Chains A and B, each alone.
Chain A
Amino acid sequence: MALSKPVRTIWDIPREERFAPGHTMCQGCGAAIIMRHLTKVIGKDAIIVQATGCVEVTTTAFPRTSWLNPWLHLAFENAGAGASGVEAALKALKRKGVIDPNRKIKVVAIAGDGGTFDIGLQSLSGMLERGHNVMYVVYDNEAYMNTGIQRSGATPLGAWTTTTPVGKKLRGELRPKKDLIGIALAHRIPYIATASPAYPTDMVEKLRKAYETEGPSLVHIISPCTPGWRIRNEDSVKVARLAVLTGMWVLLEIVNGKPRVTVKVPKRKPVREYLRLQGRFRHLTDEEIARIQKMVDEYVEEINRWVGEQAIGPVEG
């Protein structure tokens, strides 16, 4: 049974583990925390389809699996298409009476940022456009981690990756992050949210709502990666929290096009506090950090205007 009760406190998260340990995700991997909670929410009547990426390769080394649900491996580029197909097949089987038509079975697609922002984008767009009853979860570690930290459309401005090296000419990633939420919004789907594993109650409640949504839903979750972000193992939750507290990552929920900030930040911390914990930003000069701060200031202003209140406040101090 999927989690049906609203999640108001940490105690509403089910105790039962539905994501087996023994996987090979790195020490301190943020995506592993996300998967534990996702599987607690969706329960047993969900079919998971997964684009390749870290989560896939670390949980399914043959002949083993960390998953307790029916789970389908997909290629890098087609989580959206695969999920659409499974959902259509479920409909057909229900129509033919092979599966009880009253039984609620949901399709859950999981993909990384590379599999979503880049190579899987048209596949996702098709799925959203056709209105499939699929919940799509993006764990965003802001690069192609599984293949050795190559940049993606989700890599933030200034971040070092192996394909945005730091030297005299190049200073890490040249472009700001692609606006995935804006893309999802343009498809006018019923439920869109952003989340952070450092805010588990908020994250789990959003996953629950996305699961309950009839039609396509998308949850975009920041996912600290210890080797890729060059952070200490024990810091991944701290970093996921600082992303929110600095306004780099705003916790949003957009229901039928209506946006809301679910975790307000009355006084923001300077982005420097988020950046300095991460080796991928170590090369940044004061001027470069100021540029990122300005970008975040503008983003925060844009969000506040959009939600119609000062949900994220000014930088403290």
Chain B
Amino acid sequence: MSIKDEGFKRYLGKKYPETWRDMPIAAIVPWPGNTAEVKTHAWRTIKPVIDQDKCIRCRLCWTFCPDGAILEVDEEYKTSSGRVFKISYKVDYDHCKGCGICAAECPVNAIEMVPEER
């Protein structure tokens, strides 16, 4: 189906179906990647906290996170021993489910899993 089709136009510009009349034909979902709006943080009972000073920027936590919840950002960081890194790793706490893989795989134990408090 092309964007020009009437059937498709009906829900373009609309975020989600508002009534059954808006339901896309054949359950087409024209909003790629929109699960990103769903926060999965409530699944968590423990949460990862990255010690930026200990982190050696090895990328393993980013690689292994099932939820893409370790973000690799171009943020410079200078450690207390004077080492400068061009990138940093941050936790996306909206989506992190608290599995603990990042902490288990970190080679220098720079990630601590701490109880989630809400």
Contact = CB atoms under 8 A, between A and B. Distances in A.
A155 B69 CA distance: 30
Given A63-B17, A234-B100, A17 B68 contact: yes
Contacts of B16: 63
Contacts of A17: 68
Interface in B55-72: 58-60, 63-69, 72
A209 to B, nearest CB: 19
A288 B60 CA distance: 35
Given A11-B59, A22-B39, A234-B100, A28 B66 contact: yes
A30 interface: yes
Contacts of B67: 21, 23, 25, 32
Contacts of B97: 27
12 contacts: A21-B67, A22-B36, A22-B95, A23-B67, A27-B97, A27-B98, A36-B66, A36-B68, A64-B31, A65-B33, A68-B33, A237-B105
Q: How big is chain B's contact interface, by range?
A: 35 or more
Given A62-B27, A63-B16, A28 B32 contact: no
B92 to A, nearest CB: 7
B29 interface: yes
Interface string B4-39: 000000000000110000001001010111111111
Interface string A139-164: 00000000000000000000000000
Given A11-B59, A63-B29, A21 B103 contact: no
Contacts of B66: 25, 27-30, 32-33, 36, 236
Given A20-B33, A22-B35, A234-B104, 7 more contacts: A23-B67, A27-B98, A63-B16, A64-B35, A65-B35, A234-B99, A234-B113
Given A19-B68, A21-B67, A32-B67, A65 B36 contact: no
Contact of A59 (B35, B39, B103): B35
Given A63-B16, A65-B34, A21 B69 contact: yes
B110 interface: no
Contacts, number: 114
Contact of B35 (A13, A20, A226): A20
A10 B34 contact: no
- Interface of chain A: mostly helix, strand, loop or mixed: loop
A27 B67 CA distance: 8
Interface in A26-46: 27-30, 32-33, 36
Contact of B104 (A25, A63, A73, A238): A238
Contacts of B69: 21
In the A-B complex, the 5 residue pairs with the closest CB atoms: A234-B100, A32-B66, A22-B35, A22-B38, A20-B33
Most chain-B CB neighbours within 10 Å: which of A25, A59, A234, A235?
A: A234
Given A20-B34, A28-B99, A236-B101, A62 B64 contact: no
Contacts of A232: 100
A10 B43 contact: no
A64 B63 contact: no
A27 B68 contact: no
A67 B32 contact: yes
Most chain-B CB neighbours within 10 Å: which of A19, A59, A237?
A: A237
A33 B27 contact: no
A22 B32 contact: no
Nearest to A70: B32
A66 B35 contact: yes
Nearest to A58: B35
Contacts of B65: 33, 36
